[in-house]
Structure 1
């Protein structure tokens, strides 16, 4: 019985009955498999490197975005412990980070004042200013100053790989929300990279392969259930004969 089960499980799902077996003297020609690629290769991307300019550009944009977020999310920590990294960062980066800290503090102070005066209403994580045109303009100038400061910081870090790596090594100090966002973006990058490595034909073959595996598994499950039922019936019949 065990041999029969093993034999049946090795058969393709299309043929498990006696009609699929060759008769004596009439050998059947085996059907050609629909899958032309090796099953092991179907589960891996067709290539290991991107080949087109467009795909390389897509991944490059994601890599740059992750790099920038990793740096900016640690800006507060770096400015707080600036003295410990002064040797690696250099004077220009230190000065830029200190200026950014000053601008950020001014921005926080302005927002706090506007909120205290009832001019800044926050709903769903967003702030709406209901002040005069002069107050709105004043806030916009502060926002532009902070944005320009961030761009300047990123420019200096991109020009200094050692400083960039030193800051990224401080990842333990990153807040949880930024860490989750970076992790999600990195996972998306990996998913997209694999998709870009796989051609439409390879993707179709992979889908077909998985469908065939699923159907074969279903057929094997049905075969096992039928054999178990037959075995149970045979055991029951034997027990009945013994009792009589």
Structure 2
């Protein structure tokens, strides 16, 4: 039955979906793994240019395309878990409902019939007819699921997203993953504008040119590296020859050193015999010196014992005086402690009174600040009013002055007009 579902699954998806997925992000990640941490950050920053600037689809058509892909992914997930639902139909019967259970039961019977016919019969027409019936029953199941989306979502969550076991087959998982990758690629293409596509093409051309330049530089560096390796090999062969000669010289030196050690040992034995004779003479002399020093030590020991006795007496006297001073100090400190306790008691009482006064002062200070703030606001308001009054008076005086000047100019103008008229009449009479 799983094979039949897989056949129907692949028919509904289409042949194009089964192609290998073009995972651009995985290529980017594989490309960045070969470098160091700094180069990885640089490549990641450069590859952000290839990402579209928009994050949401702006048209209804593009949203419908993505919605179709999402619906295809959901249906394939339901097809992938349909064998598990069929096997545990009693467990899910309450949540699925009678119609959906009946559709699944019918689909199960047709799948079982198709498996039996596939095993024991070779009638192609009958197989094709059964395949069509299985396909139609599968579509009916999907239609029933579409009528109850809450149940479909719950089953997908329980059996795929939150299940710890591998419920779906490897082939179904690959198809679902390919569909998700197709959705990501389609979303990226739909989010990319023509201007971004042009910028991406130009950027890729620049990267290609840089790649060619880097290839040329790499070839040159490779040639230099080969030359350097050849020079190093020649130098290594020279050093190997030098090491061989040095080893021969070392062997000769070792032989010479053995002979030298043998001669040195012979001379050291002779010197040891001579030193032994001299040592015996020195020992006898040192013994006599030791006897003299011991006599001197006995005398000094007696003298030091007498001095120690005097110092012990002096120490006892000083210890007695120190003990007396300690007793006197303890007595004085007891008196001082009593005095300190009395002073501390008085200090505690005064501190308590001070805290009470400070609390009262805080209340008075708040009231004082409030009163001063009100006075300040009143003073500022009064000053503002005085400034406004002065400005109004100044404006009124200015307006009156301009109005008087205007009246004077108008009177002079009228007077000049009247004088002109009189002069004209006189000239006419003459």
In the alignment, what sits opposite 1:43?
Answer: 50
1:176 equivalent in alignment to 2:174: no
TM-score (norm 2): 0.36
Q: What is the match of residue 363 of structure 2?
A: none
Runs of 4+ in 1 over 4 A off after TM superposition: 213-222
Structure 2 unaligned blocks of 5 or more: 1-45, 161-165, 225-430
Deviation at 1:84, TM superposition (A): 2.0
Give the TM-score, by structure 1 length.
0.60
Q: Does 1:195 align with 2:195?
A: no
Higher normalized contact order (CA 8 Å, seq sep 6+, divided by chain length): 1
Could you say which structure has the larger radius of gyration? Answer: 2
**Corresponding residue for 1:154?**
142
Segments of 5+ residues of structure 1 without an aligned counterpart are 1-38, 120-128, 130-135, 230-244
CA offset at residue 219 of structure 1? 6.8
Rounded to whole Å, the distance in 2 between the matches of 1:179 and 1:203 is 32
**In structure 1, C-alpha distance between the alignment counterparts of 2:96 and 2:121, rounded to whole Å:** 35
| Cα RMSD after superposing both structures | 3.3
**What is the deviation of 1:57?**
3.0
2: CA distance, partners of 1:218 / 1:101: 60
Of 181-190 and 167-176, deviating more is 167-176
Shift of 1:104: 0.9
Does 1:98 pair with 2:98? no
Between 1:56-65 and 1:143-152, the stretch displaced more is: 56-65
Counterpart in 2 of 1:164? Answer: 152
**Contact residue 69 and residue 182 of structure 1 kept, 8 A:** yes
Q: Deviations over 1:67-124 (max 9, x none)?
A: 1111112211111011222232122211211111111111111222214xxx5xxxxx
Q: Does 1:185 align with 2:174?
A: no
Distance in 1, matches of 2:204 and 2:130, equals 56
Q: Does the residue aligned with 1:102 lie in a helix, a strand or coil? A: helix
Alpha-carbon distance change, 112 to 205 in structure 1, aligned in 2, over 3 angstroms: same
Deviation at 1:210, TM superposition (A): 4.2
Change (3 A) 1:215 1:147: closer
Matched, 1:111 2:118: yes
Name the counterpart of 2:5: none
Matches within 5 A, 1:196-211: 196-211=190-205
C-alpha distance in 2 between matches for 1:104 and 1:73: 15
Paired with 2:107 and 2:159, the residues of 1 have a C-alpha distance of 19
Count of residue pairs the alignment pairs up:
175
**Structure 1 pair 216–106 and aligned structure 2 pair: CA distance change class (3 A):** closer
Once the two structures are TM-superposed, the CA of residue 173 in structure 1 deviates from its matched residue by 0.6
1 or 2, which has the higher helix percentage?
Answer: 2
Does the residue aligned with 2:190 lie in a helix, a strand or coil? helix
Q: Deviations over 1:130-172 (max 9, x none)?
A: xxxxxx2x44442232122111111111121221123213133
In the alignment, the residues of structure 2 paired with residue 156 and residue 175 of structure 1 have an alpha-carbon distance, to the nearest angstrom, of 23
